[in-house]
Amino acid sequence: GQSLEQPSEVTAVEGAIVQINCTYQTSGFYGLSWYQQHDGGAPTFLSYNALDGLEETGRFSSFLSRSDSYGYLLLQELQMKDSASYFCTPGKDSSYKLIFGSGTRLLVRP
């Protein structure tokens, strides 16, 4: 079977740091991806973690612990434009097929 858990909503202040956690159970797991989606828009790819550890891309970092079936997305120096939904998507086997959950809605306040 497969399960995926993320907080449904997170609120943070502009300029702050926020962490969005993700726990998953996926047979044949081989990597964790993160996507961002603004209201009315299409999802866009943020990052991919194949191995344990931290991957940094500008203000965004993504972490994976395969042994804990856990990952997180870290957003630094929050900006108003970061208000969006964020999806963690565990990959399964080698099918390139990603399963998206309901995501985390991030609201950045002034």
Partner 1 sequence: DAGITQSPRYKITETGRQVTLMCHQTWSHSYMFWYRQDLGHGLRLIYYSAAADITDKGEVPDGYVVSRSKTENFPLTLESATRSQTSVYFCASTEGVRAGYTFGSGTRLTVV
Residues that bind partner 1 in the complex, under the rule CB under 8 A: 30-31, 33, 35, 41-46, 48, 50, 87, 91, 95-103
Length of the chain: 110
Alpha carbon distance 76, 10 (integer Å): 14
C-beta of 90: minimal distance to partner 1 in Å? 10
Closer to partner 1 by Cβ: residue 79 or 102: 102
C-beta of 101: minimal distance to partner 1 in Å? 5
- For 14, the enclosing helix (H) or strand (E) is none
Tokens of 88: 């963690």
